Amino acid sequence: GFGAFTSGEVKEDEILFEIPRKACLTLEAATNDDKFGKAFNSLIEKAGPGGNTVVMAGYMAKEYLLAKEDATGSSAWSAYFDTLPWERGINGQEHVLFWPGDKIEELLKGSTCYAEARSLRGEVGLATNIMNKVLGASIRVARGEDVDEGGFNINRMIPWKAKPPAPEEPPEGFPEAMKGAFVCLLTRAFQDEKEDGTDEEKLVPLLDMLQHSDTPNVRHAMRKADGTVEVRARCDIPTGTELFNQYRSEEEETMPYSRFFTRFGFVPGISEDMENLLEDKSSIFYPQKAEI
C-alpha cells in the first residue's frame, strides 16, 4: 500500500475513518452490472464459491480497460483504480503473477513457493479464458472494432448487416488486466461477511493503503446495519505515526513467510530484494538440511 499517517493525536478506540459500502468494490457491483450481471451470476451458479473471485477479477479487468482507454462506458471506479497495482512495480508491488514463466522455473523450482505459484498462474490463465468468452467481444466493440458483440441481434440474420465474429484470442491488454486484478484481490481484498454466514471478497479504498504489521495499531469492522467499514485505533496513536493493519497473523501455521510472498508479494520484516533471496537459496524459501 501507499501507507497512511496520523495528522493529529488519536485516542484508543477513536474512529480514524469510515468507508461506506457504496464506495467498496464488492461482488454485488459485478453481479449487478447492467450488461454482464446475468452472465456473472450464471457463472457463479455453475462454478460455486470459486467463481466469485473469477467474476470479481473479470469485472475489474473490464472496468479497468474501459477506464484506461476512456472508452464508451468508462468506469465509475477510475479514480480508485489509479491507486491499485495493475502492473509490477506500481506502489512497489511484487508478485509471482507478474513474473514470466521462465523466471518462475529459474528462481522458484525446488522452493516452498513453487507449487502454489504455478497453481495461482494456472488459475489465472483459466479465469482469463473464461472471462474472455464473456467480455472479449464487448471490450473490442467499446474500442471501436467492427465485430459481432454477441447476444441476440436481428442484424445477424441480414447478410449485408451482419458483422464478423470477434477473434477467439483475448483483446489486447486483457490477460495483463486479469493478472493485475488477481494481484489486487490477493494482496488487498477483505472478507465481506454476509447475513447467511458466508464470506465474499471486497476491496475497501483507503483501508487497503495501510502497510502490514503483526502488531497493528488499527482494527476494522463492518457495521451490520449499513455495511460501512469502521477503522478504529487499537491504542493511543501520537501525531505523525504510520497506521498499520494486519494482513494475516505471522504466527499462523498456514501462512509461513514463503506463503506471505506468493500471496502478498513480500516477506514481513525483510527489505532485501526477493529475487536475491531466492538466488541465494534463502531458508525462507528453501528447506535446509540439518547438520549432523
204 close to 17: Cβ distance less than 8 angstroms:
no
| Distance, CA of 55 to CA of 115 (rounded, Å) | 24
190-197 contact pairs (CB < 8 A, 24+): 190/220, 190/229, 192/24, 192/26, 192/27, 192/222, 193/222
Residue 92 confidence (pLDDT) above 90: no
pLDDT at 59: 97
Tell me what the mean pLDDT of segment 231-237 comes to.
98
Question: Where is average pLDDT lowest: 17-31, 122-136, 155-169, 203-217?
Answer: 155-169
Please report which confidence band the pLDDT of residue 74 belongs to, taking 50, 70 and 90 as the band edges: low
Query: Which parts of 70-152 fold into alpha helices (H)?
Result: 78-81, 101-103, 114-142
Element (H, E) at 46: helix 37-47
Q: Tell me the CA end-to-end span of the chain in Å, nearest whole number.
A: 44
Answer yes or no: is pLDDT of 154 > 50: no
More confident residue, 214 or 146: 214
Please state the three-class secondary structure of 206-249 as a single string.
CHHHCEECCCCCEEEEECCCCCCEEEEECCCECCCCECEECCCC
pTM for the structure as a whole: 0.90
pLDDT in tens, 28-58: 999 999 999 999 999 999 987 789 999 999 9
Question: What pLDDT is stored for residue 73 in this prediction?
Answer: 46
The three cell numbers of residue 164 are 464478423
Instruction: Give pLDDT, residue 60.
Output: 97
Reported as type and span, the H/E element at residue 25 is: strand 25-26
Burial class (CB in 10 A: 0-12, 13-18, 19+), 89: exposed
Length of the chain: 292
Cα–Cα distances (Å) from 137 to 51, 151, 161, in that order, read 21, 10, 17
Quick one: pLDDT at residue 151? Answer: 53
pLDDT in tens, 196-208: 667 789 999 999 9
Residue 161 pLDDT > 80: no
Asked if 82 contacts 89 with a C-beta cutoff of 8 angstroms, the reply is no
pLDDT recorded at residue 160:
42
